[in-house]
């Protein structure tokens, strides 16, 4: 009987750990978060995998990427967090990361820049470039 109780307790702890992990991820955004020069560093270090869409209001290719980023944010909630940063309003960060063309997606893993994706592309091309860091 002791062995059965030990297994039951172990299983209960495992289930509670999973529930706790999922509870934490419930607070993750399911839409891109507006990021500024002031919030950029904190945002990119807060989650294990972060993608920041660097864009501008006048940029037509940026508007083509927007719905793709919004879909990915919904589909990968709890795994990837997406942000949007208007480069015209946040020039300090844009210069710091050498953003010369938009749209540019900056991919951060554990707070470190791991890749820049420059230019508009369809979801089937963009998604694997991001998800390989999961």
Q: Which residues are catalytic?
A: 59, 62
Nearest alpha-carbon partner for 119 in 131, 111, 129, 109: 129
SS3 of 36, please? coil
Query: H or E element: which one contains 24?
Result: helix 2-26
Q: What count of other Cβ atoms lies within 10 Å of the Cβ of residue 13?
A: 10
């Amino acid at each position: 009987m002791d062995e059965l109780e030990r297994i039951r307790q172990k299983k209960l702890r495992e289930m509670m750990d999973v529930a706790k992990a999922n509870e934490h991820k419930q607070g993750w955004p399911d839409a891109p978060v507006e990021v500024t020069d002031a919030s950029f560093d904190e945002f990119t270090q807060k989650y294990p995998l972060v993608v920041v869409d660097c864009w501008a209001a006048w940029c037509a290719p940026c508007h083509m990427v927007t719905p793709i980023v919004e879909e990915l944010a919904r589909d990968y909630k709890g795994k990837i967090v997406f942000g949007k940063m208007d480069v015209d309003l946040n020039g300090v960060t844009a210069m710091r990361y050498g953003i010369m063309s938009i749209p540019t997606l900056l991919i951060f893993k554990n707070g470190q820049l791991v890749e820049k994706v420059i230019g508009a592309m369809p979801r089937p091309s963009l998604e694997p470039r991001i998800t390989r860091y999961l």
